[in-house]
Amino acid sequence: MKLFIKFDINTICSLFLKEKLEQLNVDFDTLGFGEIQLKTNVSNEELDTIKKELVPFGFEVVENQKSVLVQKIKDAIIEMVFMDENENNLKSSVYLSEKLNHSYGYLSNVFSEVTYSSIENFIIIQKIERAKQLILIGEMSLTEIAFLLNYSSVAHLSTQFKNTTGITPSAFQRIIKKRRENLK
């Protein structure tokens, strides 16, 4: 039997960090997505242990200031794209500028300098991942998905989806439908 599971990446990450840091007896407060405040000073050895325990699960302690800002940009984009109810129809540049209190030009330059890619490319990748997740869940039409992800049209979503994945969202839906039928 195959199950399809809907999940919230923010909740998963927060719960994982809480569990792992409690196992390491680290006293902390969560400040935001991907940001914690240690309540006590930790030694270099303890910090190394924390880093080593998180790496196998795809987590990394970021120390360079530009890298910290890039991680905040990525976190803000993921939060923006994966919000269930996209309350704000702000352009991503306005959203990021307001959220991170920097001009979009500065954010874009730092992001490109550190990642060798653009903020726009990262946004597209996250939107396509979200679209794939929503298609897998199967509760929304492509029109509804395009609207939720702030695309101007289904055609625009389809173009970016195909450029990123190599297939159209409709083809992706057909593949998913066929796989589900074959599992029955």
User: Residues 105, 110, 114, 119: is their CA dihedral positive or negative?
Assistant: negative
- Report d(CA 101, CA 98) in Å as an integer: 5
Give pTM, 2 decimals: 0.69
CA dihedral in degrees (157, 163, 167, 171; nearest 10)? 10
**Domain residue extents for the chain:** 1-61, 122-183
CA dihedral in degrees (114, 81, 150, 85; nearest 10)? -160
Residue 45 φ then ψ, to 5°: -65, -45
pLDDT tens digits for range 21-57: 888 888 888 776 677 778 888 788 888 888 888 888 8
Closest CA to 132 of 155, 162, 92, 153: 162
Was domain 122-183 assigned CATH 1.10.10.60? yes
pLDDT tens digits for range 52-100: 888 888 888 877 788 889 989 999 999 888 875 555 567 889 999 999 9
In this structure, which long-range contacts are made by residues 167-174, counting pairs with CB atoms below 8 Å and at least 24 apart in sequence? Answer: 169/131, 169/135, 169/142, 169/145, 170/142, 172/132, 172/135, 173/135, 173/142
